[in-house]
Amino acid sequence: MPSATTIQAGTDIALATTVRNVGTTSAPAHEVAHFLSLDQSISASDVFLGRSPVPALGNNASTVNNRPSVRIPAFVTPGTYWLAAWVDYDNTVPETEEGNNLRLVQVRIDPPACGTALAGPTSSAYPEGSGGRELQPDHSPTRCRR
């Protein structure tokens, strides 16, 4: 997770998520997804920041999942958020304990720099919005930091 607790909207951050298999058997390859949320639970209203692969892990094995460049969208309203790392977010790994896959770090999002272009997602958002539609960001004007 990021070392800074204040992040400017519209900028890139680096994320490092340590994933450990605490089970008694090997876990197959899966993914970790990152979200930005106003609360401590992930829902369709949260901002999907992307996902990355996690290799198969033997029992008690761990790996560090590095994402050197994750964009915090410029359309994110300034305020306090939870940056989430959700391991096996799509529930592909059979587990006896599903409640230990989410880790959260509280962060403050500052306004974007002046002149930052507002850009929507370049791929399908996760999860889908109601009615099976992709989630679309609200591109309303935002104040910038001078």
Lowest mean pLDDT among 55-59, 69-73, 128-132: 128-132
CATH code at position 10: 2.60.40.10
In a domain, 145, yes or no: no
Question: Is the pLDDT score of 117 beyond 70?
Answer: no
Residue 138 has pLDDT above 50, yes or no: no
3-state secondary structure the chain: CCCCCEEECCCEEEEEEEEECCCCCCECCEEEEEEEECCCCCCCCCEEEEEEEECCECCCCEEEEEEEEEECCCCCCCEEEEEEEEECCCCCCCCCCCCCCEEEEEEEEECCECCCCCCCCCCCCCCCCHHHCCCCCCCCCCCCEC
Question: Does residue 137 fall inside a structural domain?
Answer: no
Is 144 among the domain residues? no
Q: How many domains does the chain have?
A: 1
Whether the pLDDT of residue 8 is over 80: the answer is: yes
- pLDDT surpasses 80 at 139: no
- What's the pLDDT score for residue 144? 53
| Structural tokens at position 42 | 């992930």
Domain that holds residue 99: 6-132
pLDDT per residue as tens digits for the range 86-115: 999 999 998 888 888 999 999 999 998 876
Round the average pLDDT of the chain to a whole number and report it. 81
Per-residue pLDDT for 32 more than 50? yes
92 domain-assigned:
yes
**Model pLDDT for residues 63-75, shown as the tens digit of each residue:** 998 888 899 999 9
